[in-house]
Amino acid sequence: MQIPIFTVDAFTSQPFSGNPAAVCLLENDLDEDLHQKIATEMNLSETAFIRKLRPGDDFTKSSCFGLRWFTPANEVPLCGHATLAASAVLFHVQKNTNSVLTFVTLSGELKARQVEDRIVLDLPLYLTYPQAAVGDMIVQDLRYSPDTKKLLVRLSDAYERSVLEELQVNAQRFLSAEKTGKVKGLILTLKGNSSGKHKGHDFYSRYFAPWYGVLEDPVTGSAHAVLSSYWSEQLGKKEMLAFQCSRRGGELKISLRNDGRVDIAGQIAIVLKGNLTF
């Protein structure tokens, strides 16, 4: 069997930065266990599988596809960067002729469209709820998103971006600290600067998901579906520019919609095209 496969760096225009995702185009149904085996073999934070929904569908002409995401450890309900990568393969490699693509996923229908040099994803917007009265020198706010099982930790506004970037995090230890299943991802976030070297970004973040086999994810669309609601409330803005401060780094353009969803836009770089053979 041969399956076309691509590696796409998401939320960046530069190869070898942003967040890499593998994308598989499935002409036919794939045995259930092979999804996880392929994702483990690729060993990226996410592998996306695009499947045709009807016998007559075509990757160039059809506008609606099934989409699933797997980490090296398990399937996840939502992945923004791998959705961006999947859209890039359809738009740029398959030359899909539709202006909008729809993906049927575990998180409902997600849409993608091209706007200038970016691909815009229409994602759910997830609310967060206060967890405790926090206000020390290190942590300024603590929120929880029950829909995504993500814990959001806002660091003090007194800190610069460099503090977040240089913070040493032993994500493996989270597994022994949190075994209840309530938390599946940890977001560290910091308010942006209006001046200085890194001016222009409204907020910064890093994201850790060892519960899904991902110690630190380079650039995370699903985390920004949570961050967008939080920072929109804090800053009083619906249009924001965010930067995820991992070693690879990536930029996300955010626009809150009036229908309770969020548009998250990013650039892409396709770095590998080939076939899986087995």
Report which residue type is found at 131: Q
Buried b (16+ CB within 10 A) or exposed e, 57-80: eebeebebbebbbbbbeebbebbb
Is-catalytic flag, 46?
yes
Report which residue type is found at 232: S
Which of 27, 32, 41, 46 is labelled catalytic? 46
Q: How far apart are CA 24 and CA 104, in angstroms?
A: 16
156 and 137 in contact (C-beta within 8 Å)?
yes
CA-based angle 83:231:266, to the nearest 5?
30
| Residues designated as active site | 46
